[in-house]
Structure formats: C-alpha cells, structure tokens
Amino acid sequence: MTLVAVTVGAFVTAAAAVSGAGICAAPSLDPDIPAGPGDQVCYHLVRTLSERVGLATAALTAIIALTFIGLSRLSATGERRRESPDRI
C-alpha cells in the first residue's frame, strides 16, 4: 500500500513539474525574435509546488487505501458474526 502511495505521488510530482515548467520558458510570440532564457525563480516555484502536490496526493492515496482496507475488514467481520451462533 505504501508503494502505491509513493508511486502515485511520484507520478503526480513529475507530471506537475513537466507541465508547469513549460510556462517558465518565456516563449516568444514573434518567430524572428529568439525566446529568452528560462526564469530560474519560476522553475524553483514550479518544482516546489509540484513536490507539495505530489506529497499531498501520496498522503491522500494512503488515507483512501487505508479507509477501503478498514471498511472491507469491517464488512468481513460483520459477515463472520452473522454466520456464528450467538453465545449466551
């Protein structure tokens, strides 16, 4: 379960970093004018925010997975109690 949360978090971090870093390249509207260099502050901001989004996604994935596991165990325990006779 931890592996799933880490994998999802890493994937979201990478996707957020790649999709957000394109904004920092300062594209030129005129093809005759070369594009300027990338803004390092923008890259740092995108990297920091993508790491936070990845960590939050990993945490939420773990919470959701643990909730499903707990509910399935609760459901299985309830079925076992119905099958066993009551002791008085």
Domain count, the chain: 1
Highest-pLDDT range among 36-40, 43-47, 83-87: 43-47
59 occurs within a structural domain:
yes
Using CA atoms, how far residue 54 sits from 2, 6, 9, 36, 64, in Å, is 14, 9, 4, 29, 15
The secondary structure of residue 25, as a DSSP letter, is: G
88 occurs within a structural domain:
no
Average confidence (pLDDT) over 22-34: 67
Domain around 29: 2-83
8 A C-beta contact, residue 1 and residue 69: yes
Cα separation, 21 vs 27, in Å, equals 12
Q: Is the pLDDT of residue 56 over 60?
A: yes
Q: What is the pTM of this model?
A: 0.68
Maximal C-alpha separation, the chain: 89
